[in-house]
Amino acid sequence: MKSLPLVWFGALALAACSHPAPEAPAAAKPAPAASVAKATSEPAQAKTLPAFTPPAEADIPTGPLGDEIRRGMAIFTDTPEHAHDYVGNGLSCSNCHLDAGRLANSAPLWGAWGVYPQYRKKNGRVNSFGERLQGCFRFSMNGKAPPLDSDVIVALQTYAWWMAKGAPAGEKLAGAGYPKQGFKPQQPPDYARGAAVYAKDCALCHGADGQGQQVAGRHVFPPLWGPQSFNWGAGMHELDNAAAFIKANMPLSRGGTLSDQDAWDVAMYMDAHERPQDPRYAGDVAATRAKYHDTPMSLYGTTVNGHLLGSGTAK
Amino acid sequence: MLRILALLALLAPLAAGATDAATSAATIVKQGNGKGAAPCMACHGVDGGGMEVTGYPRLAGLDAAYLQRQLDDFANGTRANPVMQPNASALSEDERAALAKYYSAMSPPARFAKPATTPDAAGERLATRGDWSRELPSCVQCHAPGGVGVGANFPPLAGQPAAYIEAQLRAWQQGTRHNDPLALMQHVAKQLTPQEIQAVAGWFAAQPLPRKEGAP
């Protein structure tokens, strides 16, 4: 394992070059090595994005529309309880979208609503907001996609729509998504350093074993890997997403206190643990990596500590 | 069968009491240790439920590791308190460990299962939603829904005397209490106004504590 951090970017870039992705969406994507180098040399986005403040919860209207908005909020903040047919793990939407989906730099719903429909490289087609939510259930919730006209999707859409009321449609807003732009580690992320950060700043809540903590059968602190966490198809398994989320928001209430390097190292540590299989599994790990995870931001299909990630046997 | 199980549950603490350490814990609770430590029940109640008026906290049913760390911190001065420091210092390390186990094995008194009373709206909002414009998570995000507590580091707030919760929040705020992991409570408490401290303490004090399974 010790050699991995040093050769990390190079080795994965080589692997990417030797297996050109066959399908159009992946081919349209720049080669990973090039995209990393390009992003590193580019300064953070200079133009100022429009700011937005979502309406207050106290302003949720009364009546049937307000009821649906509140139902969406309830699903969002306690997903296993209110959408149990579609959830296959111990997570809730609000674990990664803090403050019930309202918090800037925590992928707020008001930042997402207005930028759909959107073409997504992940599936090579234009996705509606509802289809994007279906992806959350399939990957981040390790469950199954609720039908587009289901109560769950309609309620979540209504909640997101309400939260984005007054925001300019079709524009990227300040605080949307996780702050990934220009956020790079000085050194390649390192598992051993990440383990030290985890023990010091994360294990208090998420447990030394990463399985979170439960009270009365319900997760109070979310599991970060293992069978009750997000699967290998979820965005959070990619290092840049995880590092940006962690830097901006962790430890809870102390966002921005970890160094950039610590955030990347601990993101790598978290994402170098085994988790549920990618539901698009293509028969073997190498083929699945080539088809869906051909980026240095994914450790799927790489070997860390002698374990082939994605092969499903390690804890 | 159920009766037998219930009886066994009742007897379990007594059986544990057969060991020397636990016997001495029961004695210290009632009589003190004869070396300067006062009987715990004088302030924390015969049933371990604390005293609402004076703000002495409930100990019955709290996590053993949490209780022991507090006793150790009182003893070594990491947690300051004019009453508890001399008492904890007069206890041996084994006695502190035995007392922590003793109280954690005790069921919270039945009166804590009472339904919640008139929750304060501002207190409830802080407790259950926080205020992220000030980087203030909801209290229940770490102390569990209803404030029933999580593990060794996030003690229950439900049913604790409002005066106790208020005093702790003020102590975190002023830095006179600083034995919190990652300085989480100091950071959070510094954001709170005196009115908010009162409101949120009142809300948690009014929350019911679910009875432990098998409790009489």
Let me know: does A79 contact A91? Beta carbons within 8 Å. yes
Looking at the domain assignment, is residue A86 inside a domain? yes
> Inter-chain contact B145–A252, Cβ cutoff 8 Å?
no
Q: Is residue B215 part of a domain?
A: no
The answer on B80 and B120 residing in a single domain is no
- B7 and B98 within one domain: yes
Q: Using a CB-CB distance cutoff of 8 angstroms, which residues of chain A are in contact with residue B145?
A: 215, 218, 220
Do A72 and A134 sit in the same domain of this protein? Answer: yes
Distances (CA, A) of A282 to A29, A75, A277, A285, A295: 20, 31, 11, 7, 17
- B76 with B96, same domain: the answer is yes
> Do A20 and A70 have their domain in common?
no
- The residue behind tokens 């007897």 is B11
Q: What CA–CA distance (Å, rounded) separates B46 from B49? A: 8
Print the domain residue range for B63: 2-106
Q: Å from B192 to nearest chain A CA?
A: 14
Looking at the 3D structure of chain A, how many domains does it have? 2
Tens digits of per-residue pLDDT, B70-124? 999 999 999 999 999 999 999 999 999 999 999 999 999 988 887 767 667 999 9
A138 within a domain of the structure (yes/no): yes
Whether residue B6 sits in one domain with residue B61? yes
User: Hey, are the CB atoms on B150 and A215 less than 8 Å from each other?
Assistant: yes
CATH of the domain at A288: 1.10.760.10
For residue B15, what pLDDT is reported?
42
Q: Is residue A76 part of a domain?
A: yes
Residues of A in contact with B135 (CB under 8 A): 253-255
Whether A151 and A225 share a structural domain: no
Single residue among B73, B89, B106 that ends a domain in this structure: B106
Question: Does A170 map to a domain?
Answer: no
Judge whether residue B2 has pLDDT over 70. Answer: no
Query: Of the candidates A163, A190, A219, which is a domain's last residue?
Result: A163
Q: Are residues A185 and A301 in the same domain?
A: yes
Task: Give a yes or no: residue A168 inside a domain.
Answer: no
State what percent of residues in chain B have pLDDT above 90: 79
What are B26-36's pLDDT values in tens digits? 999 999 999 99
Chain B contact set for A266 (CB, 8 A)? none
Q: State residue B215's pLDDT score.
A: 45
The verdict on A158 and A66 lying in the same domain is yes
Which residue in the set B129, B150, B188 is minimally distant from A253, CB to CB? B188
Domain boundary among A102, A128, A163: A163
Residues B89 and B168 in one domain: no
Q: Of the candidates B106, B140, B164, which is a domain's last residue?
A: B106
**Confidence (pLDDT) at B21:** 52
Indicate if A135 and A111 belong to the same structural domain.
yes
Examine the domain organization and report whether B149 and B83 are in the same domain.
no
B20 to chain A, closest Cα gap in Å: 32
- The answer to whether residue B13 scores a pLDDT higher than 90 is no
Domain that holds residue A120: 57-163
> Which residues on A lie below 8 Å from B150 (Cβ)?
213, 215, 220-221
Q: Are residues A204 and A293 in the same domain?
A: yes
Please give the pLDDT value at position B116: 67
- Stretch (H or E) spanning A68: helix A64-77
Q: Is residue A313 part of a domain?
A: no
- The answer to whether residues A187 and A151 belong to one domain is no
Residues of chain A with pLDDT under 70: 1-46, 313-315
B38 & B73 share domain: yes
Same domain? A189 vs A288 = yes
| Residue A93 is assigned to a structural domain of this protein | yes
Of A110, A134, A163, the last residue of a domain is A163
Do A304 and A189 belong to one domain?
A: yes
Give dist(CA A9, CA A277) in Å, integer.
Answer: 23
B58, B168 Cβ separation under 8 angstroms: no
User: Are A163 and A111 within 8 A, CB to CB?
Assistant: no
Give pLDDT tens digits for B155-211: 999 999 999 999 999 999 999 999 999 999 999 999 999 999 999 999 999 999 876
Please tell me the distance in Å from A98's CA to the nearest CA on chain B: 9
Q: Evaluate whether residue A173 is within a structural domain.
A: no
Whether residue B164 lies inside any domain: the answer is yes
CATH number where B14 lies: 1.10.760.10
- The per-residue pLDDT of chain B, averaged, comes to 88
Do B142 and B171 share a domain, yes or no? yes
Q: Are residues B128 and B36 in the same domain?
A: no
Of B135, B149, B210, the CB nearest to A255: B135
Could you tell me which of A125, A240, A116 has the C-alpha nearest to residue A189? Answer: A240
**Element housing A118 (H / E):** strand A118-120
Residues contacting A21, CB < 8 A, separation 6+: A27, A29, A290, A291, A294
Dmax (CA) of chain B:
54
Task: Look up residue A140 and give its DSSP letter.
Answer: I
ipTM reported for the complex surpasses 0.90:
no
Is residue B13 located within the same domain as residue B99?
A: yes
Number of structural domains found in chain B: 2
Chain B positions in Cβ-Cβ contact with residue A98 (cut-off 8 Å) = 132, 137
This prediction has a pTM of 0.86
- Indicate if A122 and A158 belong to the same structural domain: yes
Both structure tokens of A118: 């959107």
Choose between B55 and A17: higher pLDDT. B55
Instruction: Check B150 against A57: CB less than 8 A apart.
Output: no
C-beta neighbour count of B26 within 10 angstroms:
16
The answer to whether residues B138 and B118 belong to one domain is yes
B101 and B119 part of one domain: no
Each residue's pLDDT tens digit, A28-84: 333 333 333 333 334 445 578 999 999 999 999 999 999 999 999 999 999 999 999
- The last residue of one of the domains, among B80, B106, B132, is B106
